[in-house]
Structure 1
C-alpha cells in the first residue's frame, strides 16, 4: 500500500500537474497569442470560438476601408474625447478595425460610453460583447477581457453566454485559473445560465486549481446537471475523473467514469487502466492492455496509451508475480507504436478539431493568430 501511495503521488505530480511549460504570455504583449510559442492548451473548438469567421469579417472591412483605417480610428478617438454621441455602426466599424492593445483601450472606453448612453434602450439582435471578447482573444489581452466582463458597471452589456465562454477559454490558455473563476462567479451572480461549453470550461478550471474547494464545486456542478437531466460532455467528464484522481477519491472517479459512454475513446481507455491499477485491480488492467494489442479488425485503429499510464502499471507490479507479463505487454505496445509520450494532461487540455472549412479567400495575414499555423492551411480549415 505504501508503494501504491508513492506511485499515485508521482503520477499525480506528472500527468495531473498544474501547467505545462511554455504556455504563459504577458497580457500586454502586442503580438497576442502569436507570442505564445506552442500555446495549444484550449478547450473550445473553432466552431464555438468562431475567431476565424471574425477575422474574415475584419479582413473584408479592412479591404473596403482601403487605407482609411488610420484616419477613421483617429476621428473616432477625437469624437470620444469630445464626449460626442457614439453611434452603433460607428462603434461596430471601429471594433473591426482594432489591431493593437492601444486600440483596445480606446475600444474599452467606447463600449463603456456606448453602454452608459444606451443602457435603457433596446439594442435589437446585435450584441457587442462577443466582438470585444474575440478581439481580446485575437490580441492576447485576457487581462483586459477579464477586467471588463466582470466589471459590475457593465453588468447589462455582457448578457450572452458566448462572451463569457470566450473569456474563460482565453484565460485557461494563459493559465489564469483564478481569473477564470472570477468570470464564472460573475456569471452566477448575474444569473447567466451555463451551457455545455461553460460546464466544460468550469470543470477544466476546477481540475487545474486542484483544491478541496474546487473539487467540491466540480462534484456539485456535475450532480446539479445530472439531477436536472442535463447532458455533460464526455470531455467535461474526463476532467471530473482526473480531478477525482488528483484528490485521491478513487470511488468517485469510478462513479464518474461509469457515465462515459464511449469506452473506445483514447482518453477512456487510458483512464480505465489508471483506475483499475489504482484500485488494486492489476490483473484486470493487464488483461485490458493485452486485449488492446489485438484489435477485432485490422481496420480498427489500435488504441494508444500514455507513457505515464504504462509506467504506473509497471511500478505497481514491480517485484510481483505479474512483473514479467507486464514488461512483455508494454514492450509489445511500444514496438507497435501504441505508447505515446503525450501526457494525459496534454490530452485533456486540448479541444477536438472543429468542422472543416474550405479556403474561400486570400488571407491578409500569413499565420493564424489562434493556431500559429500557416493561414492557408489552418485559418479556414482547422
Structure 2
C-alpha cells in the first residue's frame, strides 16, 4: 500500500512538473499532425521519463558514462540498459549514446521481441529530431528493429508536421519493403501527404495504394478517402473524385458535406450544389445534430463558378441564407482535411499499468506467505 501511495505521489509530481516545464507543449504547438495522442502516446512517454529519472540509482551522467564505457569494452547491452537510456535522453549529445546503444543491441539481438522502435520515435518526436529519426529508421543495418507499424506512423506524422512530404513517402516505401501491413492511420498519413504534394506522381501513388488496400480488404478511414477526393479535384479529375467520394460509408460530417458541394461545383453541377445546400438548410434534424457549416473557401468557389450562369441568382440567395443563419465558417478545406482525430484520453496510462502490476505483485506475495 505504501508503495502504491508513493507511486501515486510520483505520478502527481510528474504531471505537475511536466505541465509547469512545458513538456506537453510540443505536440499541442505542432501544426497539422494526423495521429491522435492515444496513438503517439507522447505524454505517457514523458511521464515515464520523469519516473525513470527519479528512480535512477546515482546520477544520469554516471549512467551515461558507464554505458559508454560498456560499449567501448564491447560488452553486451542489456534490454534494461536500452530502456533506461531511451528514457533518460534529453539532448543531441545524449542521442549519440542512444543510437550507439541501439546499433550495438540490435547487432547482438536482431530478433528481439521487445518493441523499442516506438520508444525511439517518441523520443525523437519530443526532441524534434526528425532528421535523426529518418536516418535511423531507413538504415538497412537496423532492418527489423522497427518491425511494427507504430514506428513508421509516428515517423510519417513527424515529417508531415514539418512539411517534409517527400521524406514521408520515403518512409512509406521503406515500410512496404519490409512487408509491414498498413493500418488505417497509415492510409490517412500517406493520402494526406499525397494531397499536400499535389503532383501527378503523388496522385498515382494515392490511387494505387487505395486500389491495393481495397483489394486486400484493408480498412481505409473516411479522412483518408476525403484526402483522396480533394487530391483528385486538385488534379482536375472530377469523375474520379466522385467515384472515390461515393465509396465513403459515413458522409454525415462537415468534411464530407463541404467536399460534396465543392465537388459538384467543380464538376459544373451548380444546380445540384444549390439544391443540396437548400436541403441542408431546410433539414428538420434535431437541434443537437446541427446544420451543415460551409467553409468560406467553398462559398467563394460557388460564387465564382456561378457568375454569368443560369443559377447565379439561386446560388447568391442560398449563400445569403447560409450567412444569415451563421453557417459560413472560416475553417479552410485544408484545415478540415488535415485535422487531428480525437483519440481516447489516457492521461496517466503508464502509472495506471504500474499500479496494476504492484497490486498483482502484492496479491502474489500475500498468497505465498499464506
| TM class by smaller structure | 0.7 to 0.9
Among 316, 323, 346, the residue aligned to 1:334: 323
Task: Write out per-residue CA displacement over residues 50-96 of structure 1, whole angstroms, 9 at most, x where no aligned residue.
Answer: 22222222122122228722322232233334433211111111111
Instruction: Identify the range of structure 1 (306-315 vs 33-42) with the bigger mean alpha-carbon deviation.
Output: 33-42
**Aligned residue pairs, count:** 329
Aligned match of 1:343:
332
User: What residue number does 1:128 align with?
Assistant: 116
Residue 113 of structure 1 corresponds to 104
The structure 1 residue matched to 2:198, chosen from 185, 188, 210, is 210
Q: Which residue of 2 aligns with 1:76?
A: 67
Q: Partner of 1:352 in structure 2?
A: 341
What CA distance in whole angstroms lies between the structure 2 residues aligned with 1:330 and 1:103?
Answer: 57
Query: CA 1:93 to 1:360, structure 2 compared with 1: closer, same or farther past 3 Å?
Result: closer
Structure showing the higher helix proportion among its residues: 2
Pairing of 1:1-382 with structure 2 (within 5 A) = 38-65=29-56, 68-119=59-110, 122-123=111-112, 125-296=113-284, 297-357=286-346
Q: Tell whether the 8 Å contact from 1:32 to 1:140 is kept in structure 2 after alignment.
A: no
Q: Which moved more, 1:333-342 or 1:281-290?
A: 333-342
Q: Which has the larger radius of gyration?
A: 2
In the other structure, the counterpart of 2:16 is none
- Contact 1:181–1:205 at 8 Å: present in 2 too? yes
1:212 CA displacement: 1.2
* Structure 2 unaligned regions, length at least 5: 1-21, 352-370
* Secondary structure in structure 1 of the residue aligned to 2:217: coil
- The structure whose RCO (Cα within 8 Å, separation 6+) is larger is 1
Could you tell me how far apart the structure 1 residues matched to 2:329 and 2:29 are? 18
- Give the secondary-structure state (helix, strand or coil) at the position aligned to 2:107: helix
> What CA distance in whole angstroms lies between the structure 2 residues aligned with 1:359 and 1:339?
39
* Conserved? CA contact 2:198–2:231, under 8 Å: yes
Query: What displacement does 1:284 show?
Result: 1.2
Partner of 1:15: none
Q: CA RMSD in A?
A: 2.3
Deviation at 1:33?
A: 9.6
Deviation at 1:36, TM superposition (A): 8.8
| 1:225-275: CA deviation from partner (whole Å, max 9, x where unpaired) | 222233211111011101111111110000000011222211110011011
